[in-house]
A and B are shown apart, each in its own frame.
Chain A
């Protein structure tokens, strides 16, 4: 079974995000970019399936600007076998919407025919949490989102999901889309020899136009603003003082 993993190039989770003064977006110039953390977890899970003999090949796919090559090289260095880059924008400020990403992924999947797709649950830039579910809809496949455990069991996958009330386990028919939550695994770091080896692994390049997908956004970003700032508070010297302040504020 082939496993396909969509990986997104996003601003590194440690970077302090700055909103541009003209409200046109956030500043992505000269900012450290990395693989979306949930996608690292997805790649790790796919590699573990391969190591366990449950997957035959792991293909990483990224959609966006040319620089997403770097993200794909990271996936290859972690252990993915092959990568596909779909160039859909020239400008690093252009974010391709989940619906368009899902359409592009569907076109890639029609060609690759994987038995399982493991995506991240959410991209930490647009915080959409939508692509996996949209892809499942377009393919007419089952979906198991927010996974914290995944077992392949014949022609089905048993997935434990992190839900509001706790955990839910479901069984989904394969092929299926699974989206990775934080507790699915702890991703490995790529070793130096593997980073070197990754440079020679195949990385195919296509464009959204090659795949016949229109990536025109459905949502226009009218403006991007700073969130409301909190007023700085005060430090208290003791538990007694804290209790007094809370009582004065009517909080307890």
Chain B
């Protein structure tokens, strides 16, 4: 069996961690061909060729793939699909946008957010904000799936797959990129960080979110947030952890001023060690925390930052 894996390429660069984790899931299904598409994708393709378990890399460079618009990228994948039994991608916002479109064009169901590969047709995925895990078996000829990276280990390096340049598919010409507002940050990326410090509504303001960021920087951690913190404008949308935000599973997750709604837990309850700091001892977050501290965050967080500094 043969797998086509859509690599995560942003601004010409390979998102190595997300792609290498998806390779681990894909390698269980067959020979892995990685597709790198972008306005420039050669560097990404070269990096993908080094991932262990990758058999071949296809590199599609064209301006129409520059911003990963769904319509041209889906058309490209569909043009290649005939050779593959599975089409896989890490469950990033890009792939969540593109792969369901691919599946519908192939008249098959998409299987999103896969957390385990049982066999070539059978997969596990969480439903109801992670309150249940479904095992689903596909009857479709081609399986199109996105995989949740937080549950797969990254494939190592040491591969040396051949890279083949391919041409662009026809551009449906339905949409155009206008602008990106992407925050540049020296912090580790949220979904691959070893430590995540997240703040919730309890932090109270955008200014005070600096307390969370300072603790994160002391630990070399990524910063996360609850939906309430994002909705209130304390933190940007790309920091949201949860059912409908990012799913993280770091070695250490520190939840500060977060009550622990199921929608938040859905995004972090597979973390190795969970710490909760909350002034309400009844807060549900304490039910999943390994270490709980009932305290006012405005005292506890600066003290913790100082002691760990």
Contacts and interface: CB of A to CB of B under 8 A. Distances in A.
B40 interface: no
Contact of B178 (A19, A158, A219, A242): A158
B132 A251 contact: no
A26 B132 contact: yes
Interface residues of A, number: 82
A131 B307 CA distance: 49
B291 A234 contact: yes
User: Among the interface residues A16, A137, A172, which one has the most CB atoms of the partner chain B within 10 A?
Assistant: A137
A47 interface: no
Contact of A141 (B130, B136, B174, B191): B174
A130 B135 contact: no
A167 B69 CA distance: 14
A183 B243 CA distance: 15
B139 A218 contact: yes
Contacts of B105: 137
B103 A165 contact: no
A145 B95 CA distance: 11
B127 A165 contact: no
A224 to B, nearest CB: 5
Q: Which range contains the number of B residues in contact with the other chain? A: 35 or more
B126 interface: yes
A145 B10 contact: no
Interface in B256-309: 262-263, 269, 272-275, 281, 286-295, 300, 303-304, 307-308
Nearest to B78: A137
Interface string A94-138: 000111001000000000000000000110111111111111111
B246 interface: yes
A169 B179 contact: yes
Contacts of A170: 67, 69, 175-178
B93 A171 contact: no
Interface string A1-23: 00000000001010011010000
A98 B110 contact: yes
Contacts of B135: 221-225
Contacts of B109: 97-99, 217-219
Given A165-B182, A239-B304, A124 B139 contact: no
A125 B70 CA distance: 25
A210 interface: no
A196 interface: no
A91 interface: no
Given A163-B94, A225-B133, A242 B291 contact: yes
A235 B290 CA distance: 8
Contacts of B169: none
Contact of B238 (A122, A165, A219, A221): A165
B244 A239 contact: no
Interface stretch (B44-52, B55-63, B229-237): B229-237
A251 B178 CA distance: 43
Interface string B224-253: 000100110000111000011010000110
Given A225-B135, A235-B293, A182 B227 contact: yes
Contacts of A38: 244
A243 interface: yes
A146 B130 CA distance: 20
A168 interface: yes
Interface in B154-192: 172, 174-183, 191
7 contacts: A11-B128, A99-B110, A133-B101, A134-B101, A164-B93, A171-B178, A242-B293
Nearest 9 CB-CB pairs, A to B?
A142-B174, A133-B100, A137-B104, A134-B104, A233-B290, A130-B100, A218-B109, A165-B182, A17-B131
